[in-house]
Structure 1
Amino acid sequence: MTSETLNYWMQRFVLEVRKQDGSEYPPRSLYYIVCGLLRYLRDENIHNMNFLDEKDHRFAVFQRVLDARMKELLSKGLGTKVRQADPILQEDEEKIWSQKVFGMHSSKALQYTVFFYNCKLFGLRAYDEHKSLECDQFDLGCDDRGKYIHFHGRSSKTYKGGLRHIQLQNKDIKHYCLNAERCLADFYLAYIDALGHRGPFYRRPLASGIKYSEQVLGINKIKGLMKEITRNAGLVGNFTNHSGKRTCATQLYQAGVDEQDIMSRIGHRSESAVKKYKRTNSVLQESVSKVLDPPKKTKCLHSVQCHA
């Protein structure tokens, strides 16, 4: 395929591509689809057809068409309402505990507990870092600072371990359990003991006692764990497995932790990637709203129903 042919058909593609239901993609989604096509060319060892390179004038027309199309989609209101995973705030976390969704009273509750804290403490990703977890990636111990959970990461989206990542290091995080009333190391110990200290970390919980079968949790089951946890606790919001990683970054950010330390904990290598996790949540937005529009004792002119 020549550059002229590719330039022509890429123009037609961005103008005509639609979802399965016939609706149009938001501008950002359209751009990511185009990036996926570029990645496909590279996977096919075609490296001289970068249609997103502004310096490559062969694709100047396509780039103008893509730019105009994205602006047109935005003017239609597409992509203006971004639905992102909500972080789980401290009060939400306490509610999960109070509703007995977390705990050692059942194998399912214990699995919920270690899954959530794998996300929060070690910044594990939505699915890819969970599916391959093994028991021997966790060491439990005690030193002069107290009990700890030591997590040894392996390959991930940002760390593949090849030649390009020779200067990087896998996650190596030691979390000290400083909450005397709720020592997370004890929960991890009970869970890993039940698994026999070997094999896959996520297995099907059994109904009687703290026991797990040899059957590994399926893909869809792992992907839906955070939704199960928050639904069982009665939390309202857009909670997905990605909420765990966002929870980790958000709470560190609110506590004033340095960006470099946040990057180390959640596994990102660029500050721009970390900043995506620092979007304001409802608590921060409420604080800003109070500054810009101080609350008064008089009633509002218009009654607006507030949903819990």
Structure 2
Amino acid sequence: MEIKNQKGEDYPPKSLYLVMCGLLRHLREHGVHDMNFLDKNNPAFAEFYSVLDSKMKNLLDQGLGTDTKQADPISGDDENKLWESGVFGLKDSKTLQLTVFFYACKLFGLRGRDEHRGLQCDQFEIGEDSEGRFIRFIGRGSKTYHGGLGQMSINNKDIKHYCTPGPRCMATHFETYINAVGNDGDFYKRPLPAMPGNSIRYGHQPVGVNTLTKFMKEISQRGSLKGVYSNHSGKRTCATSMYEAGIDEQDIMDRTGHRSVTAVRKYKRLNDKIRKKVSNVLDPNSDVSLSMSKRNEQSDDDKEINLKNSPCHKKQKVRNALSEITTKSGVVNFSGCTFNF
């Protein structure tokens, strides 16, 4: 009832619950396994559960937790904008590093800081086969894959991405970057100033964790993108792009590394384009609604004309004529006739 954040304000309902989960995890890590105060069926903590439940409902009624901010995916238009404005490309060391960072997220479903901070050059392989040039990524430990006896039945992430030839060929960008950082050790190394004849240079020191955390924010600022962007936007872009293209959920999970359909569906949230499409269907002033209204206002005369010209109507006229002939003469014999309907 008394818990507050550093500003002395109430936490949102979900945050309050997550604080309780953190306390429970702390107890279990220290050997206390018989104090599950989130078990509503445990009479020892029934009052606690009831108070927490009431508090969360009350906070929701106050409007807390209704405006949840999530990292936005990079749309296709914004991605094109980043290329055209020079945020992505081979211009210099920083530009190339931001490019490979974003596409390591999008192409291979890597998480923001967690999977990038330990990334090594030898996890990437540039090759070519009958299908074309490709980048192969071999994953290691991650949030969803730790290895060991408990995950013997789970395969490590091993993705081969085939690249489209052209000025934005990712195989070329990744190969240029890996050669520049030395083909060994940490994947992200500090960019160095350009020198005559060599505009892409990197030092031996790895990029700091705090700098790596801000990469996506830096990309969005350089490109003047509007939205909420964090390093998690890259993985969300990966899942959202495949979702919009109608890719099967199992194939999405192979790229993102999720182990359940429920987990991957959290990334397939509606983007602004889909929301706009839904809005156009529902809004009374939209082009879609107005065109539907005009179709509904078609006059009865037009409908009658359309009915008379329809194939079904013509067939029925022939049937009526044949029926009338049969009624008058009793029997009708046809020989060498062709009927086209």
Separation of aligned partners in 1, 2:134 and 2:231: 24
Q: Which residue of 1 aligns with 2:83?
A: 97
Write out aligned runs for 1:222-237 (5 A).
Answer: 222-237=212-227
Q: Which residue of 2 aligns with 1:134?
A: 120
Q: Which residue of 2 aligns with 1:249?
A: 239
1:200 matched to 2:194? The reply is no
Q: Which residue of 2 aligns with 1:149?
A: 135
Q: Which residue of 2 aligns with 1:303?
A: none
Q: Which residue of 2 aligns with 1:174?
A: 160
Q: Any stretches of 5+ residues in structure 2 without a counterpart? A: 288-341
Cα deviation for residue 165 of structure 1 reads 1.7
Q: Which residue of 2 aligns with 1:188?
A: 174
Separation of aligned partners in 2, 1:236 and 1:266: 25
Q: Which residue of 2 aligns with 1:11?
A: none
Q: Aligned-pair RMSD on alpha carbons?
A: 1.2
Q: Deviations over 1:25-80 (max 9, x none)?
A: 00001111111111111111221211122332221111111110100100000000
Separation of aligned partners in 2, 1:296 and 1:225: 38
Q: Which residue of 2 aligns with 1:65?
A: 51
Contact 2:89–2:168, Cα closer than 8 Å, also in 1? no
Cα deviation for residue 246 of structure 1 reads 0.5
Cα deviation for residue 182 of structure 1 reads 2.0
Separation of aligned partners in 2, 1:259 and 1:149: 22
Query: Identity of paired residues, percent?
Result: 55
| Most deviating of 51-60 and 199-208 | 51-60
Separation of aligned partners in 1, 2:101 and 2:137: 13
Separation of aligned partners in 1, 2:166 and 2:279: 36
Separation of aligned partners in 2, 1:26 and 1:166: 39
Q: Deviations over 1:218-245 (max 9, x none)?
A: 1110000001011101111111101001
Superposition misfits of 4+ residues, deviation over 6 angstroms: none
Q: Which residue of 2 aligns with 1:6?
A: none
Q: Partner amino acid for 1:131? A: R
Contact 2:136–2:161, Cα closer than 8 Å, also in 1? yes
TM-score scaled by length of structure 2: 0.81
* Secondary structure of the structure 2 residue equivalent to 1:148: strand
Cα deviation for residue 294 of structure 1 reads 4.4
Separation of aligned partners in 2, 1:200 and 1:56: 49
* Secondary structure of the structure 2 residue equivalent to 1:204: strand
| Most deviating of 170-179 and 196-205 | 170-179
1:267 matched to 2:257? The reply is yes
Cα deviation for residue 104 of structure 1 reads 0.8
* Secondary structure of the structure 2 residue equivalent to 1:268: coil
1:291 matched to 2:277? The reply is no
Q: Deviations over 1:156-190 (max 9, x none)?
A: 11111122222212211110002434210000000
Q: Any stretches of 5+ residues in structure 1 without a counterpart? A: 1-14, 298-308
* Secondary structure of the structure 1 residue equivalent to 2:177: helix
* Secondary structure of the structure 2 residue equivalent to 1:16: coil
1:159 matched to 2:149? The reply is no
Relative contact order, higher structure (CA 8 A, sep 6+): 1
Cα deviation for residue 247 of structure 1 reads 0.3
**Pair member with larger Rg:** 2
Separation of aligned partners in 2, 1:206 and 1:257: 40
Q: Which residue of 2 aligns with 1:16?
A: 2
Q: Which residue of 2 aligns with 1:3?
A: none
* Secondary structure of the structure 1 residue equivalent to 2:253: helix
Aligned length: 283
Q: Which residue of 2 aligns with 1:79?
A: 65
Separation of aligned partners in 2, 1:260 and 1:31: 31
Cα deviation for residue 296 of structure 1 reads 4.7
